[in-house]
Amino acid sequence: MPMTNRRKFVMTSLTVLALPRQAATAEQRVLRFGMVTDAHYADYETSGNRHYRESLTKMRECVDSMNQQGAQFLVELGDFNDGARKPAEEDALRYLSEIEAQFARFAGPRYHVLGNHNMDALSKPQVLSRIENTGIAPEHSYYAFDRGGRRFLVLDACFRSDGQPYERGDFHWTDANITTQQLQWIEAQLNDSPHPVIVFIHQLLDGSGNIFVNNAARVRRVLEDSGKVLAVFQGHHHSGSYRELEGIHYYTLRAMVEGSGPENSSYALVDVHPDRIVVQGYRRAVDKTISS
């Protein structure tokens, strides 16, 4: 049986049943969290392989699974909602509220990363006011938190090259940037951290081109120079990927929205150990063990 099929879930009514699997014990790990990306939820007809409406049911399964598996927090890596078809503001806000209601069923702290499609039809303040990042003031689009002896940095690359934030479609999805102010904040967080660091971002940092942050090389240098960053978890690139650069592991999670039916969902459980990080993929998500 392929590695990514070991932890498949079946839906019986609204109950998620896990197939047998080997999980790290609490004594072996220092932290367990869940992650999901690119739900792209909206009340749209299917386009290509994007099944927008099905993301509500897929998210429900993800949250049920993460609750069942004892994840200590849950993070989504952007493009939570979709506004690419330029819905009316009230409809765009409804889509965001509906997918957030499913995400909010998680029993612990939860966190969001901003993705380009979040601002197709809304402003950043509108998006941030309709979601909850546990313990984080709603005006902050990038932020940090410590848990399990690790520092987590949540980055926001949804800025144009002129430094202006994405708002109501006034941007191009290929023009993703980490601002100078945010870079300074990243450096300060890294310098201040007594812990190893894990980074969450939507657009990719491990290369160059349309799907990558424009100033990704500069951001990578900051991360590398600190000597503290273990891994970067990314979304945006729906097929997923993995790469190691200068000792930092870049894992891109596959998108939830791609494909019809629960078997075509994607989410992951991450076990952080003293010497490694184990990504356990569910549905189409890919397993990966990362030495730390």
pLDDT, tens digit only, all 292 positions of the chain: 333 433 443 332 233 333 333 444 555 779 999 999 999 999 999 999 999 999 999 999 999 999 999 999 999 999 999 999 999 999 999 999 999 999 999 999 999 999 999 999 999 999 999 999 999 999 999 999 999 999 999 999 999 999 999 999 999 999 999 999 999 999 999 999 999 999 999 999 999 999 999 999 999 999 999 999 999 999 999 999 999 999 999 999 999 999 999 999 999 999 999 999 999 999 999 999 998 7
Alpha-carbon distance of 61 to 34, in angstroms, equals: 12
d(CA 243, CA 221): 16
CATH of the domain at 71: 3.60.21.10
Q: Quick one: pLDDT at residue 29?
A: 78
Domain presence at residue 247: yes
Residue ranges of alpha helices (H) inside the chain are 55-68, 89-103, 124-130, 180-192, 216-226
Q: Would you state the pLDDT for residue 26?
A: 53
Task: Supply the pTM of this predicted model.
Answer: 0.91
Confirm whether 12 is domain-assigned.
no
pLDDT computed for residue 40 by the predictor: 98
Nearest 10 degrees: Cα torsion 55, 75, 128, 104: 60
Q: Residue 180: inside a domain, yes or no?
A: yes
Terminal-to-terminal C-alpha distance of the chain: 28
**DSSP at 181:** H
Domain count, the chain: 1
Residue 120 lies in a domain: yes
Buried b (16+ CB within 10 A) or exposed e, 33-44: bbbbbbbbbbeb
Look at the chain and count its residues: 292
| Domain assignment present for 5 | no
Residue 102: which domain range?
Answer: 29-291
Domain contains 57: yes
Whether residue 145 is contained in a domain is answered as yes
Please tell me the predicted confidence (pLDDT) of residue 134.
98
For 200-259, how does the pLDDT look when each residue is reduced to its tens digit (9 = 90+)? 999 999 999 999 999 999 999 999 999 999 999 999 999 999 999 999 999 999 999 999
Separation of alpha carbons 33 and 66, rounded Å: 8
Is residue 19 in a domain? no
